[in-house]
Structure 1
Amino acid sequence: MTLDEILASLFPNGRDVKNQRGVLFGSGTLRSGEQALVIGVSDRTPLGVDEAARLSRYVLSSVESGKGPIVVVVDSDSQRMSKRDELLGLNEYLAHLAKCLLYADLNGRPTIGILYGHTAAGAFLATAMATRVLVGLPGADPVVMDLPSMSKVTKLSIEVLEAKAKSTPVFAPGLQNLSQMGAVHTVWDTSRPLVDQLEAVLRETTDARDRRDELGKQRGGRTKAADIAERVHDLALHTL
């Protein structure tokens, strides 16, 4: 589906979404008449300090002035690999954007990420992964870290990582693997109206509690994370 087709299927009652050099912002009308804030990254645009600052401003302004969900639509490159962005503190801008989305979600603006294209690395973490619920559309191509980069960090050969990726989703990119790990809540059916599936997700997820580790355990993609998180939580309670 193209971006226009996705937005039309999400908001058949009307939408006004602008695309300024790959940064999306605007609104869409839900069936209830409520307005959803729509932001995101399109056209495989890299996420730099300028884009992150603009998106953060839209999110924070919406908390002060509006209600309803925030829909984050993503087809990005990775973070912008430039000397300027790095010197300006790109990591802090990306972290700020992620925290703005979390802040909005905790203050009455449920955040729904919709991954319809590519995304990678810091741009992925600061947008789609910072939402309450992340859904994917068929054909989406998320990559937390590609295998060559992972090889440099872990000092393991590409061949070893490729072998591990066949049996362990943590080492493997792609929509199916991230779904098995629980990072992607569900993959939507593009033969059905997306508005129906958006409303279903909003009904199902009524609080901002992160359930990704539980989904990963249920799906066999991350078998230890949920148990470890529960143990840490219990230990923290006992030491207070």
Structure 2
Amino acid sequence: MNLPTILDALFPTGHQISINGHVLAGTANTASGSVAVLGTTDAAAIDHEIALFLAQHILATIQAHPRRPVIFLVDTQGQALSRAEELLCLNGSLAHLAACVDLARRLGHVSLSLVTGEAVSGGYLSFGLMADRAYALASAQVRVMDLKAMARVTKIDHAKLQELAVSAPTFAPGADNYQRMGAIEEIWPTPSASLLDSALAALLKAPGSSDRRMQAAQDRTGRLEAARIVDQILAA
């Protein structure tokens, strides 16, 4: 499904969103009013330019439209994998982007993200998973690292990781596994204005509500120890 079709399905009452290369930005109408829409398309590799573009538009929204909700549309193959990007400290630009999302939250801008294509590694972590609630289309591909790469990094045999991935979502790619781990709130069968309006209305009804991902992970048996360990640390 191409991006214009997705945008029309999510915002049938109108949108003013510009697509420039691998990035998009603009505003749209929803049942809850105007929202800022930012994101990436065509499996973009998040480099300095894209990270700073997204951060700039978040800051511009904060300044010009206090408390306006922000919708992130995510389609990224991850951070740009080049020596030049790393030497220029891409991690700093990604951290800046994540900090801007957090600043918006602290200043009353609720946010949600929707994975429309791919969502991989640092490209997803820096803004999509920073949103108050994360969603994904059923057709989306979500992963941090494929099992072959994970085997090289962890030194665990690839066959063993394949065996673990059958029962442990932390080792397995896929939007459904990220939902089990609590990272993704819900998987949508298709882009839907009604689903978006419902999710946005729930956020606006309880702005600043606590992050419930760890509890969701426990309830869905995706991560059984995270909530307990954090509670122990906070109580210490």
The more displaced of 60-69 and 109-118 is 60-69
CA distance in 1, matches of 2:105, 2:9: 24
Q: Paired residue for 2:145?
A: 145
Is structure 2 residue 204 aligned with structure 1 residue 212? no
Aligned 8 A contact 2:61 2:68 in 1: no
How far 1:145 moved relative to its partner?
1.6
Q: Partner amino acid for 1:57? A: Q
Q: Partner amino acid for 2:114? A: I
How far 1:87 moved relative to its partner?
1.1
Q: Partner amino acid for 1:157? A: D
Runs of 4+ in structure 1 off by over 3 angstroms are: none
Aligned 8 A contact 2:116 2:136 in 1: yes
- What is the aligned-residue RMSD (CA, Å)? 1.3
Query: Aligned runs of 1:155-234 on 2, under 5 Å?
Result: 155-190=155-190, 194-205=192-203, 206-208=206-208, 209-234=210-235
Q: Partner amino acid for 1:221? A: G
Question: Does the residue aligned with 1:128 lie in a helix, a strand or coil?
Answer: coil
CA distance in 1, matches of 2:155, 2:34: 48
Query: Aligned runs of 1:73-88 on 2, under 5 Å?
Result: 73-88=73-88
The more displaced of 63-72 and 35-44 is 63-72
Q: Paired residue for 1:54?
A: 53
Gaps of 5+ in 1: 236-240
Query: Aligned runs of 1:40-119 on 2, under 5 Å?
Result: 40-66=39-65, 67-119=67-119
How far 1:23 moved relative to its partner?
0.7
CA distance in 1, matches of 2:226, 2:110: 24
- Number of aligned positions between the proteins: 232
Identity among equivalent positions (%) equals 32
How far 1:68 moved relative to its partner?
2.1
CA distance in 2, matches of 1:204, 1:218: 20
CA distance in 1, matches of 2:150, 2:202: 35
How far 1:189 moved relative to its partner?
3.4
Q: Partner amino acid for 2:106? A: L
Q: Partner amino acid for 1:101? A: V
CA distance in 1, matches of 2:100, 2:198: 24
Is structure 2 residue 40 aligned with structure 1 residue 28? no
TM-score (ref. length: structure 2): 0.94
CA distance in 1, matches of 2:24, 2:180: 29
Aligned 8 A contact 2:108 2:207 in 1: no
How far 1:2 moved relative to its partner?
2.6
CA distance in 2, matches of 1:207, 1:150: 37
The more displaced of 214-223 and 2-11 is 2-11
